[in-house]
Structure 1
Amino acid sequence: MKERLWTIRHAHPSDIDALGGIEVAAAQVFQSLEALSWLAEGEPIPSGRQHQLIEAGTVFVATDTHNQPVGFLSAEVLEDRLHIVEVSVLPEWQRMGIGRALIDVARDAAISLHLRALTLTTFRHVAWNAPFYAELGFEEAHDTALQQHLETDAQNGLPIKDRCAMAMVL
Structure 2
Amino acid sequence: MKERLWTIRHAQPSDIDALGGIEVAAAQVFQSLETLSWLAQGEPMPRDRQRQLIEAETVFVATDTHDQPVGFLSAEVIDDRLHIVEVSVLPEWQRMGIGRALIDVAREEAIRLHLHALTLTTFRHVAWNAPFYAELGFEEAHDAALQQHLEADAQNGLPVKERCAMAMVL
Question: What TM-score does the superposition give when structure 1 sets the normalisation length?
Answer: 1.00
SS in 2 for 1:2: coil
* Aligned counterpart, 1:76: 76
Question: Whole-Å Cα distance in 1 between the matches of residues 66 and 25 of structure 2?
Answer: 20
Question: What's the CA shift string for 1:6-36, capped at 9, x where partnerless?
Answer: 0000000000000000000000000000000
* Aligned counterpart, 1:88: 88
* 5+ residue gaps, structure 2: none
Q: Does 1:56 align with 2:95?
A: no
Deviation of 1:47 (Å)? 0.4
For 1:49, the aligned partner's letter is R
State the identity as a percent.
89
SS in 2 for 1:104: helix
SS in 2 for 1:96: coil
Dislocated runs of 4+, deviation >6 Å? none
* Aligned counterpart, 1:106: 106
Correspondences of 1:7-86 after superposition (within 5 Å): 7-86=7-86
* 5+ residue gaps, structure 1: none
Aligned residues: 170
Question: Whole-Å Cα distance in 2 between the matches of residues 27 and 2 of structure 1?
Answer: 28
Deviation of 1:114 (Å)? 0.3
Question: What's the CA shift string for 1:67-120, capped at 9, x where partnerless?
Answer: 000000000000000000000000000000000000000000000000000000
Question: What TM-score does the superposition give when structure 2 sets the normalisation length?
Answer: 1.00
Deviation of 1:127 (Å)? 0.1
SS in 2 for 1:21: helix
RMSD: 0.2
